[in-house]
A and B are shown apart, each in its own frame.
Chain A
Amino acid sequence: MMKNASISRRTLIAGAAAAAGGALLGDLTEADAQQKAAPPVAPPASPVAPADPSKAPGAPTTAVGSRSPFVNPQRTPTGEITGTALTPLQDLSGTITPADLHFTRIHAGVPTIDPAKHTLLIHGMVDRPIELSLADLKRFPAVTRMHFVECSGNGRAAYRTPKPQMTPQQVDGMISNSEWTGIPLSTLFREVGVHKDADWFLAEGGDACLMARSVPVSKGNDDAMIAYAQNGEALRPEQGFPIRLLLPGYEGNMNVKYLRRIKLGSDPFYTRWETSKYTDPLPGGKARWFSFELDAKSIITSPAFPEKLSGPGWWPISGLAWSGRGRITRVDISVDGGKTWAEAELVSPLTPKTQVRFQYLWNWKGGDAMIMSRAVDDQGYVQPTLAQLKAVRGPGTDYHFNSIRAWRVASDGIVTFEAAT
């Protein structure tokens, strides 16, 4: 539909800003991309505001608030019950993902669960198997913590089939960051008396595929929790209502939603989601399994496609960094494609396994530039380049795509995703 050569690149960019749609961008041809930029087309009709809002009373209060009609961030639903919906990273500030914009990956649709009927069974290698209602769970001492959840497939399209016209949402939108409230799993392990030789537990969801993953008991006793609240309210159904497992820093799939059962055992359970899926093919005829931790990663969310810088001068380079192994200690910025690096300012709390917002003030002189971010965590891990990652993982690997992301800023201010670096 976008093959018409009279449609300019900038028209496409304006359209993408409104739609953030992958299908729309997929048909962009080389000829389109090389066309001279035409004057921007007017954006879609905006809501009308009074000429002077201070000269007439506004609206009364409402039961549930809503966004300004001038603000319309959108996820990217696929319309499938095994689909995804990605977080619009380019539309967000700070580090909290609004709950209704938290990314979603579902395996058999979003179930409708009556919280009064939902139970959590904990059994297997324990002294006392128990069944808990949601009300029971809320009687245990709670903790509240900030943590990101990231799908280990995040960045797959950018790794395999990169396109210049990819937004931060399309590159890395399968990460979100929330304040979670729940019960430390260690408290429940103590309650049931986990046997000393129980090294693994199975976490099983109550959705229509009974999604299940094996988790080391050591993680359960470390920082795992059973979460029932997100950003101050009950979990959203797409995030696991009424309860989910939260395993800070571990790949998203293991943070089992709609949690209904925990079974303690001596070995992994080898479910489909840890054997035929969520394993990482490697060169040399191997595949890595039980690769839980998400290594340090970052992405610049502005400037990024489909933004256009209006002219030379000071521009904040802003983005997000995170590590599944601990705290982010540093983020470096390059504006010359990785030749030189300078330290960015970290402008949000540096709690472990949490998204951190970084910022770097850039005086753009107006020429071609390539901007990149590189995260470092408290383990001393440095976010690798794409070439480094591809060399050790191969072009066909399937998860944990944490290489450095780059954006190309052209002399006319147009920003595109840079695939080659």
Chain B
Amino acid sequence: MKLRIAVVAVVALTACKLEARDDYLGDKDPKQFGIGHTATAQEIAAEDIDVTPDGKGLPSGSGTPEQGSGVYQQNCATCHGVSGEGKPPAYPQLIGGPKTFDFASDFKTPRTIGNYWPYATTLYDYIRRAMPLTAPGSLTPDQTYAVTAFLLYKEGLVPAGTSLDARRLVAVQMPMRSHFVDDDRRGSNGGKNVR
């Protein structure tokens, strides 16, 4: 049986090498195919919506927790509850939860904005992309800042009355940021070194 496996493996490897086209284009291939068109500034602006922790991508505008409370109750509370308690598992809890970062011991521990989100800017990015579920992209920048301010206020991360704008949002330090670590899993484990 072992011999058969070896034969199959060799045939498979050889066949693969002979038949598969090289991924990388060589010197004989054109440097550029010139297919498609150069994207215009307008085309890029229409889709370039990502917001990163350095604040790049945040639009002008602002909103307070008080303004955000109304935006939240009107657009978010149906699924996420009037106080951000959610309707798990379909609609996650947004607010509260223990602040001990002990999620590995019990999968039922709710992971919320205050105890599991490393960057506040991601709130803006995500709400703008995806929320509210039934009408994504319908909130104005001011409304998005306001509802973000409301959620951060409920978690005690900005004081009441904060007029949240791009500069203030970037400055918000999320309490659990330092708990996130890079992937240290690597190839061989010899059956013992499980990560």
Contacts and interface: CB of A to CB of B under 8 A. Distances in A.
A195 interface: no
B20 A123 contact: no
Interface stretch (B44-52, B141-149, B150-158): B44-52
Given A272-B126, A343-B2, A286 B187 contact: no
Given A121-B39, A130-B39, A204 B50 contact: yes
Q: Which 8 pairs show the lowest CB-CB distances between chains A and B? A: A394-B104, A379-B187, A380-B188, A209-B130, A382-B191, A281-B103, A132-B36, A272-B126
Contacts of A391: 194
B187 A392 contact: no
Nearest to B174: A275
Contacts of A345: 1, 4-5
Interface stretch (B62-70, B105-113, B160-168): B105-113
Nearest to A139: B35
A140 B33 contact: yes
B60 interface: no
B194 A392 contact: yes
Contacts of B119: 270, 275
Interface of B: 1-2, 4-5, 8-9, 12-13, 15-16, 20-21, 23-25, 29, 31-33, 35-39, 43-44, 47-50, 52-53, 90, 100-109, 111, 113, 116-119, 121-122, 125-126, 129-130, 133, 136, 179-185, 187-192, 194-195
A133 B37 CA distance: 9
Contacts of A139: 33, 35
A208 B136 contact: yes
Given A108-B130, A270-B52, A392-B195, A380 B36 contact: no
Contacts of A270: 52-53, 118-119, 121-122
Contacts of B20: 143, 145
Contacts of A209: 129-130, 136
B188 A108 contact: no
Interface residues of A, number: 84
B172 to A, nearest CB: 14
A73 interface: no
Interface in A131-153: 131-133, 136, 139-141, 143, 145
Interface in A118-134: 121-123, 128-133
A384 interface: yes
Nearest to A156: B107
Interface stretch (A42-50, A97-105, A183-191): A183-191
A289 B13 contact: no
Contact of B38 (A130, A291, A394, A396): A130
Contacts of B53: 270
Contact of A286 (B37, B44, B130, B181): B181
B136 A276 contact: no
B183 A396 contact: no
Interface stretch (A18-26, A33-41, A259-267, A310-318): A259-267
Contact of A381 (B37, B101, B121, B189): B189
Contact of B47 (A260, A284, A325, A388): A260
10 contacts: A131-B36, A139-B33, A191-B35, A208-B130, A210-B129, A270-B119, A271-B122, A283-B104, A384-B189, A396-B103
Contacts of A381: 187-189
Nearest to B112: A276
B118 to A, nearest CB: 5
A349 B12 contact: yes
A127 to B, nearest CB: 10
B9 A350 contact: yes
A17 interface: no
A194 interface: no
Nearest to A142: B21
Contacts of A389: 194
Contacts of B130: 107-108, 208-210, 272
Nearest to A187: B25
B104 A397 contact: yes
A292 interface: yes
Contacts of A131: 36-39, 43
A117 to B, nearest CB: 13
A390 B128 CA distance: 37
A129 B106 CA distance: 46
Interface string A206-230: 0011111000000000010000000
A5 interface: no
A140 B35 contact: yes
A204 B130 CA distance: 12
Contact of B105 (A81, A279, A346, A396): A396
A130 B9 contact: no
A53 B167 CA distance: 76
Contacts of B13: 350
A349 B15 contact: yes
A290 interface: yes
Contact of B5 (A108, A121, A346): A346
Interface in A161-196: 184, 186-187, 190-191
B15 A394 contact: no
B52 to A, nearest CB: 5
